[in-house]
Amino acid sequence: MTYVRSKFRHPMLPKNDLGYTVDYYEGSLSTLCAGCGHDSISTAIAQACFELNIEPHKVAKLSGIGCSSKTPAYFLNNSHGFNSVHGRMPSVATGANLANRDLIYLGVSGDGDTASIGMGQFVHVIRRNLNMVYIVMNNGCYGLTKGQDSATADSGSKNKSGSVNLFGAIDLASLAIELGATFVAQSFSGDKEQLTPLIKAGMSHPGFAFINVISPCVTFNNNSGSTKSYDYVREHIEMTATFDFVPVMREIKADYEEGSVESLKMHDGSVIQLHKLAKDWNPLDRVSAINAVQNAKVKNEILTGLLYLNSDSQDLHELLQTSDRPLNKLIKSDLCPGSEVLQEINASFR
Ligand SMILES: Cc1ncc(C[n+]2csc(CCOP(=O)(O)OP(=O)(O)O)c2C)c(N)n1
Ligand code: SF4
């Protein structure tokens, strides 16, 4: 069977500042099951890059193994991509980012890929504050290998074959905040209105931006008794805030004082406008963010939105004080500056 995407597009499709229509940010036709939440996340990623006026060749898409990790084939056809080994996307992203800091790094993983085999890599990439967006398409199961419970499946939830999960779930958003992630958000694949600005904000964040997206697996984990099904998530979703992301390229108007709207300035001058829903919500307060996620859990709710933001984030390049220029742009005299310079460097250590 061949999968060919129709080339026909409405001639009046809106263009972004680069003159591209959104289809320039699409990928190959998806081979995932119809209705899979992962496809909705791919659409939100393409939309976010379109709205941010990103040149696709400035993006590197990285993934591990799983249905979720297949999705980079279904968005940003004109970008760099590397489909790595199960759970090893963070180390590939780290190497690529250190070699070329000029690209935007977008990592895609599954809950199996991240919360089990890739857990060691996940915690260390957070600790290093690598400048990347890390999206987990979280369906509570191993979709690609036919629906076994993953480590994010809630205790007591039932899988398709009727067996009940005995083990407590690993909460990736809480873990990321606990480990010092500088941008942590949570969303639902069925809520593109919320997810798209979150992805845009994550891409503008200088450091590790983690987005845990509940993304139902329609084939193996959409049954009653599952806490990652479309019905369950729709009934238990609770928002911290609705929000908008205003990139620095657009005029930022000073009209966000009304009502309970609050604006958070990001490193590059972009603004996140928060329309608070949850009482006393302050994404800059790490301890409150951890408490809020835990309180929601006790009430069987899934808290979505921007959970935590550290606006003083220093990414790995800043911490390591690496060269401003990517390694592939360094010339021989940069790498081998001669014995005099070497002696000066040695002297500075004495
Ligand atoms: C080293 C290794 N171990 C196990 C597998 C088998 N395997 C492939 S995908 C997968 C889990 C996928 O689950 P998840 O990351 O949640 O993605 P989903 O398919 O649900 O999107 C496993 C265990 C593998 N490919 N490589
Ligand atoms: S098996 Fe599940 S996760 Fe995989 S494509 Fe189908 S619906 Fe999506």
Mean pLDDT, all residues of the chain:
92
Assess whether pLDDT exceeds 90 at residue 318.
Answer: yes
pLDDT for 182 equals 97
- Bigger pLDDT: 92 or 281? 92
- pLDDT over 50 (residue 47): yes
Is pLDDT of 191 > 60? yes
Which phi-psi region, left, alpha or beta, contains residue 82 (left: φ > 0; alpha: ψ -120 to 50)?
A: beta
* Mean pLDDT in residue range 37-50: 98
What's residue 164's pLDDT?
Answer: 95
Question: Rounded to a whole number, what is the largest CA-CA distance in the chain?
Answer: 72
Q: Is 36 in the pocket of ligand 2 (CB under 6 A)?
A: yes
Torsion angle defined by CA atoms of residues 76, 314, 245 and 279, in that order, rounded to the nearest 10 degrees: 130
Residue corresponding to tokens 């076994």: 148
Among candidates 232, 245, 309, 239, which has minimal Cα distance to 37? 232
- Percent over 90 (pLDDT), the chain: 79
> Region 206-216: what's the mean pLDDT?
97
Closest approach atom of ligand 1 to CA 114 = 15
Mutational pocket test of ligand 1: of 36, 63, 65, 83, the residue with most ligand atoms within 8 Å of the beta carbon? 65
- For ligand 2, pick from 30, 31, 33, 109 the residue to mutate: most ligand atoms within 8 Å of CB: 33
Distances (CA, A) of 304 to 9, 155, 156, 246: 34, 20, 22, 20
Rounded Cα–Cα distance for residues 330 and 321 (Å): 16
Residue 204 neighbours by CB under 8 Å, 6+ apart = 52, 245, 247, 266, 267, 268, 270
Question: Residue 4 has what pLDDT?
Answer: 66
**Mean pLDDT in residue range 14-41:** 97
Do residues 175 and 24 make contact, with C-beta atoms less than 8 angstroms apart? no
User: Per-residue pLDDT tens for 71-121?
Assistant: 999 999 999 999 999 999 999 999 999 999 999 999 999 999 999 999 999
Banded pLDDT at 258 (limits 50, 70, 90) = very low
- Quote the pLDDT of residue 265: 84
Task: Render pLDDT for 107-135 as a digit per residue (tens, 0 to 9).
Answer: 999 999 999 999 999 999 999 999 999 99
Q: How confident is the model at residue 241 (pLDDT cuts 50, 70, 90)?
A: confident
Asked if residues 40 and 187 have their Cβ atoms less than 8 Å apart, the reply is no
Atom of ligand 2 nearest to the CA of 110: 3
What length is written for the chain?
A: 350
C-alpha distances out from residue 191 to 187, 194, 272, Å: 7, 6, 18
CA of 294 to the centre of ligand 1 (A): 28
pLDDT tier for residue 9 given thresholds of 50, 70 and 90: confident
Is residue 287 very low, low, confident or very high in pLDDT (cuts 50, 70, 90)? Answer: very high
pLDDT for res 269:
82
Say what the pLDDT of residue 254 is. 46
Is pLDDT at 1 greater than 60 in this prediction? no
231: left (phi over 0), alpha (psi -120 to 50) or beta: alpha
pTM recorded for the entire structure: 0.94
pLDDT score recorded for residue 145:
97
How far apart are the C-alpha atoms of 62 and 83, rounded to whole Å?
A: 6
With a cut of 80, say whether residue 251 has pLDDT above it.
no
